[in-house]
């Protein structure tokens, strides 16, 4: 199970990779493993304003359709169009090719409030028990 | 067990039920021997007027069509009739295959990409189409519906939409029996209307310019929902050809008897674009580990037992036995047969319209092209015409339209399907001409 050091994590299993005010977001290795084979990804419209914690995407797997929550507030500037034809990319490579959407953060410091890799790893262990 | 839940007696569990209702006296007559019971039920059923014993020219959403014997014979097989929710892949391949074939037949008939395995009936199918459109267009909260869509469908749609707080605008009917396209356009708001809903043949039997109506919807970014009569698709252009995003309708004309209003069959088809918002069950074809073909319920994560309140729809059933009948009926007709049925309906209804309109005091109310129903103005009140037709000639007449459209309270809508012969139609005309209320 991967927990890249350079990322920040939400309690609902989304990760964030920041550079300046830009935040690339996706779901964690733990999340993709729990979901099992992903068959469809419904992404937010580009231009949509989101609040941290707001449901903005849906990932459908063979066993469940799961809401994905914006880890930070801001405006959606990019979405990963590759996932339309190849949703399984989220399973295979959740932290890189399987990214979901990019947000232009209203408050770049907001990502600092999220968990680091170690805190998130502990969080997944609590959840499993 | 009572101890385990901390209850002293079974009766304590019933404590919430008012005393007067507990152990209430059931006033049910004593049982009858089978022979007596059968006679009693037969006597009751003989009080019904039915299309087996009387000529009927009633239409309006439920139609008397010829049902080949093979439909009853196959659909009555106990494996189909007694199966309860037969959708587990490991136990119900036969039923799943039948539903898959039904879906395929619906797509071929309508020219649409996807069909679900059916809904309750035409009315709820219209409501589900509206919900799907609202989900697809996300953010749009209005609907536009033609007043020529079946009044009962519009009522049911209103019931569904009330809970969702959706605004429904109506487009009126012109003097020609068709939807007023200019009014349809005005009522459709760009950026706000999710769907435009038009029926063809419409409630008055008239064939609407669906491609034009679809264009109105698409110009404003709304989805176009077509409400269709499946038996008309043998002769009329199918919704897939004129740009419908969703095509729904009542499947009763396909091998399902009138049965006093049900069970009927809700058809739901759509383009691929709408796929993820399709309500109801979807059967898919796949292969197992050994490469053998198999059928399964698919895209289940849409449904409410998984998505719960976020599901597109709360429906978790279908009309499998009715869908099976529709499938067998279509297979029995075949491509040529369905066209032939359509042509017979057209020919006989047009002959009837000609004969009736020529009678003194009767005239065609609308001159738009029609399929198997048409509206005539009567020289006397429609209710009286029907009553006398029953009394004098034992014929069940047309639909008294004043019930839903006050401006048409002098009109009857007559339906003529392939169940009628030229002689039957001539007899109707003669009867109408000779009624006490129509004689000059």
How far apart CA A71 and CA B87 sit, in angstroms, is 39
Alpha carbon of A62: minimum distance to chain B alpha carbons (Å):
7
Asked if B236 and B246 touch (Cβ cutoff 8 Å), the reply is no
Reference B217, options B305, B153, B279, B146; nearest CA is: B146
What CATH number belongs to A8-128?
Answer: 2.40.50.100
For B290-325, write each residue's pLDDT tens digit.
Answer: 999 999 998 877 777 777 777 778 887 889 999 999
Asked if A75 and A103 touch (Cβ cutoff 8 Å), the reply is yes
For A13-55, write each residue's pLDDT tens digit.
Answer: 999 999 999 999 999 999 999 999 999 999 999 999 999 999 9
Testing the interface with B: which of A49, A61, A64, A65 to mutate, by most B Cβ within 10 A?
A65
Which residues lie below 8 Å from residue B41, measured CB to CB, with a gap of 6+?
A: none
Gyration radius of chain B over CA positions: 25
Instruction: Show residues of chain B in contact with A60, CB under 8 Å.
Output: 276, 301-302
Residue B23 at interface with chain A, using a CB cutoff of 8 Å: no
How far apart CA B224 and CA B208 sit, in angstroms, is 13
Could you check whether the bond before residue B201 is cis, i.e. omega within 30 degrees of 0?
A: yes
Residue A49 at interface with chain B, using a CB cutoff of 8 Å: no
Q: Is the pLDDT of residue A82 over 70?
A: yes
Domains of chain B, first to last:
69-328 (3.40.640.10), 335-434 (3.90.1150.10)
The predicted pLDDT at position A97 comes to 96
Instruction: Show residues of chain B in contact with A62, CB under 8 Å.
Output: 301
Reference B209, options B186, B247, B236, B233; nearest CA is: B236
What rounded mean pLDDT belongs to chain A?
A: 93
How many distinct helices (H) and strands (E) make up chain B?
13, 13
Asked if B126 and B197 touch (Cβ cutoff 8 Å), the reply is yes
How far apart CA A3 and CA A120 sit, in angstroms, is 8
Question: Measured on CA atoms in the order B77, B83, B86, B88, is the torsion positive or negative?
Answer: negative
Q: What ranges do the domains of chain A cover?
A: 8-128
The two structure tokens encoding residue A61:
């797997």
User: Which run of H or E residues covers position B350?
Assistant: helix B320-357
The predicted pLDDT at position B43 comes to 96
List the 297-336 stretch of B: residues with Cβ below 8 A of A. Answer: 301-302, 306-307, 310
pTM of the model: 0.88
The predicted pLDDT at position B440 comes to 67
B302–A63 C-beta distance less than 8 A: no
How far apart CA A6 and CA B9 sit, in angstroms, is 63
* Regions of chain B where pLDDT drops below 70: 440
Alpha carbon of A103: minimum distance to chain B alpha carbons (Å):
20
Q: What is the mean pLDDT of residues A77-89?
A: 94
| Cα Dmax for chain B | 85
Which residues lie below 8 Å from residue B272, measured CB to CB, with a gap of 6+?
A: B113, B114
Q: Is the pLDDT of residue A129 over 80?
A: no
């Amino acid at each position: 199970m991967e927990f890249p050091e350079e990322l920040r994590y939400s309690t609902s299993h989304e990760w964030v990779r920041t550079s300046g005010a830009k935040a690339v977001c996706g779901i964690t290795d733990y999340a993709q493993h729990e979901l099992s084979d992903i068959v469809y990804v419904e992404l937010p419209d580009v231009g949509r304003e989101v609040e941290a914690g707001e449901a903005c995407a849906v990932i459908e797997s063979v066993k469940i359709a799961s809401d994905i929550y914006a880890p930070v507030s801001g405006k959606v500037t990019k979405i990963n169009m590759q996932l339309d034809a190849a949703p399984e990319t989220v399973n295979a490579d959740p932290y890189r090719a399987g990214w979901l959407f990019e947000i232009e953060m209203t408050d770049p410091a907001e990502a600092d409030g999220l968990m680091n890799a170690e805190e998130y790893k502990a969080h997944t262990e609590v959840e499993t028990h | 067990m009572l101890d385990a839940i901390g209850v002293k007696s079974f009766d304590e569990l019933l404590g919430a039920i008012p005393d007067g209702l507990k152990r209430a006296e059931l006033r049910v007559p004593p049982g009858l021997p089978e022979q007596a019971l059968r006679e009693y039920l037969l006597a009751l059923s003989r009080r019904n007027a039915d299309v087996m014993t009387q000529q009927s020219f009633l239409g309006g959403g439920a139609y008397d069509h010829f049902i080949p014997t093979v439909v009853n014979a196959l659909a009555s097989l106990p494996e189909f009739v007694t199966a309860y929710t037969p959708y587990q892949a490991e136990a119900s391949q036969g039923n799943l295959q039948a539903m898959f074939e039904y879906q395929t037949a619906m797509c071929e008939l309508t020219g649409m990409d996807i069909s679900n395995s059916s809904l309750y009936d035409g009315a709820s199918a219209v409501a589900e189409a509206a919900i799907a459109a609202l989900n697809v267009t996300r953010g749009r909260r209005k609907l536009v519906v033609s007043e020529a869509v079946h009044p009962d469908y519009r009522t049911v749609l209103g019931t569904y939409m009330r809970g969702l707080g959706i605004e429904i605008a109506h487009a009126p009917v012109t003097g020609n029996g068709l939807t007023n396209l200019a009014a349809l356009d005005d009522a459709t708001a760009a950026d706000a209307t999710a769907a435009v809903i038009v029926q063809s043949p419409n409630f008055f039997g008239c064939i609407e310019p669906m491609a034009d109506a679809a264009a109105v919807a698409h110009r404003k970014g709304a989805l176009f929902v077509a409400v269709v009569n499946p038996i008309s698709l043998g002769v009329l252009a199918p919704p897939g050809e004129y740009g419908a995003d969703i095509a729904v309708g009542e499947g009763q004309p396909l091998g399902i008897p009138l049965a006093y209003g049900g069970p009927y069959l809700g058809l739901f088809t759509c383009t691929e674009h709408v796929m993820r918002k399709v309500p109801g069950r979807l059967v898919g074809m796949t292969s197992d580990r050994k490469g053998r073909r198999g059928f399964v319920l698919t895209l289940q994560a849409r449904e409410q037992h998984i998505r719960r309140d976020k599901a597109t729809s709360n429906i978790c059933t279908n009309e499998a036995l009715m869908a099976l009948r529709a499938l067998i009926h279509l297979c029995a007709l075949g491509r040529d047969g369905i066209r032939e049925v359509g042509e017979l309906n057209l020919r006989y209804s047009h002959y009837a319209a000609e004969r009736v309109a020529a009678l003194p005091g009767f005239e065609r109310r609308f001159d738009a092209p029609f399929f198997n129903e048409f509206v005539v103005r009567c020289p006397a009140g429609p209710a009286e015409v029907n009553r006398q037709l029953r009394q004098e000639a034992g014929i069940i007449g047309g639909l008294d339209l004043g019930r839903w459209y006050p401006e048409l309270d002098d009109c009857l809508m007559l339906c003529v399907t392939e169940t009628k012969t030229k002689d039957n139609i001539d007899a109707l005309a003669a009867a109408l001409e000779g009624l006490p209320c129509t004689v000059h």
